[in-house]
Amino acid sequence: MKFATKAIHVGNEPEEKTGAVIPPIYMTSTYAQEAPAQHKGYDYTRAGNPNFCVAEAQLAALECAQYATVFSSGLGALTAYLSTMKKGDRIIAMDGMYGGTFRLIDKIFNKFGIEFVLVNPSEKEKLASLLKSGPELLLLESPTNPLLDIHDIRYLSKIAKSSGTVTIVDNTFATPYFQNPLALGADIVWHSCTKYLGGHSDIIGGAMMTDDPTTDEALKFARMAVGVNPSPMDIWLLSRSIKTLAVRMEKHQENALAVARFLNDHPLVNEVYYPGLPGTENHEVANKQMSGYSGIVSAEFDLPIEETKKLISSFDLFLLAESLGGVESLVDHPASMTHASIPKDEREKMGLSDGLIRFSVGIEDSEDLISDLARALEKSRHTLCPGGG
Ligand SMILES: Cc1ncc(COP(=O)(O)O)c(C=O)c1O
Domain 3-242 top-level CATH class:
alpha beta
Tell me if residue 343 falls in helix, strand or coil.
Answer: coil
Query: Is 46 among the catalytic positions?
Result: yes
Q: Which one of 71, 75, 169, 204 would you pick to mutate in the ligand 1 pocket, going by the greatest count of ligand atoms within 8 A of its CB?
A: 75
Mean pLDDT of the 207-225 span = 98
206 lines ligand 1 (CB under 6 A): yes
Residue 309 burial class via C-beta count within 10 angstroms: exposed 0-12, middle 13-18, buried 19 and up = middle
* Contact present, 208 and 188 (Cβ < 8 Å): yes
> What is the DSSP code string of 164-206?
T-EEEEE-TTTHHHH--GGGGT-SEEEEETTTTTT-SS----E
Verdict on whether the full-model pTM lies above 0.85? yes
Q: Whose CA is nearest to atom 8 of ligand 1?
A: 74
Query: Is 170 among the catalytic positions?
Result: yes
Binning pLDDT at 50, 70 and 90, where does residue 363 land? Answer: very high
Angle (CA) 293 296 301, round 5°:
125
Task: State the distance from the centre of ligand 1 to the C-alpha of 100, rounded, in angstroms.
Answer: 7
Task: State the distance from the centre of ligand 1 to the C-alpha of 360, rounded, in angstroms.
Answer: 14
Q: Is the pLDDT of residue 388 over 60?
A: no
Interhelix angle for 232-242 vs 50-62, to 10°? 30
* Domain parsing of the chain, residue ranges: 3-242, 246-384
User: Distance between CA 78 and CA 26 in Å, rounded?
Assistant: 25
* Contact present, 149 and 142 (Cβ < 8 Å): yes
pLDDT at 82: 98
Residue 359 φ/ψ, nearest 5 degrees: -110, 120
Read off the pLDDT of residues 248-257 as tens digits, 9 standing for 90 and up: 999 999 999 9
Binning pLDDT at 50, 70 and 90, where does residue 386 land? Answer: low
Binning pLDDT at 50, 70 and 90, where does residue 5 land? Answer: very high
Read off the pLDDT of residues 87-104 as tens digits, 9 standing for 90 and up: 999 999 998 889 899 999
Tell me if residue 208 falls in helix, strand or coil.
Answer: strand
* Contact present, 127 and 368 (Cβ < 8 Å): no
User: Distance between CA 175 and CA 194 in Å, rounded?
Assistant: 12
Read off the pLDDT of residues 171-183 as tens digits, 9 standing for 90 and up: 999 999 999 999 9
> What is the DSSP code string of 94-115?
ETT--HHHHHIIIIIGGGGT-E
User: Distance between CA 77 and CA 384 in Å, rounded?
Assistant: 45
The ligand 1 atom nearest the CA atom of 77:
11
- Judged by average pLDDT, the poorest of 120-124, 220-224, 357-361 is 120-124
From 81, 98, 196, 274, active-site residue: 98
Task: State the distance from the centre of ligand 1 to the C-alpha of 322, rounded, in angstroms.
Answer: 10
User: Distance between CA 263 and CA 193 in Å, rounded?
Assistant: 28
Mean pLDDT of the 163-190 span = 98
Mean pLDDT of the 178-203 span = 98
User: Distance between CA 384 and CA 304 in Å, rounded?
Assistant: 10
Residue 209 φ/ψ, nearest 5 degrees: -120, 145
Residue 373 CA, distance from chain mean position: 25
Give first-to-last CA distance, the chain, whole Å.
56
pLDDT at 389: 45
Residue 266 φ/ψ, nearest 5 degrees: -90, 135
Q: Which CATH superfamily is domain 246-384 in?
A: Aspartate Aminotransferase, domain 1 (3.90.1150.10)
Angle (CA) 265 317 307, round 5°:
60
Please, which residues bridge with residue 140 across strands? 169
171 lines ligand 1 (CB under 6 A): no
Read off the pLDDT of residues 139-156 as tens digits, 9 standing for 90 and up: 999 999 999 999 999 999
Which stretches of the chain are DSSP H helices? 3-9, 50-62, 74-82, 99-103, 124-132, 153-162, 175-178, 213-222, 232-242, 245-264, 281-289, 305-312, 344-349, 366-384
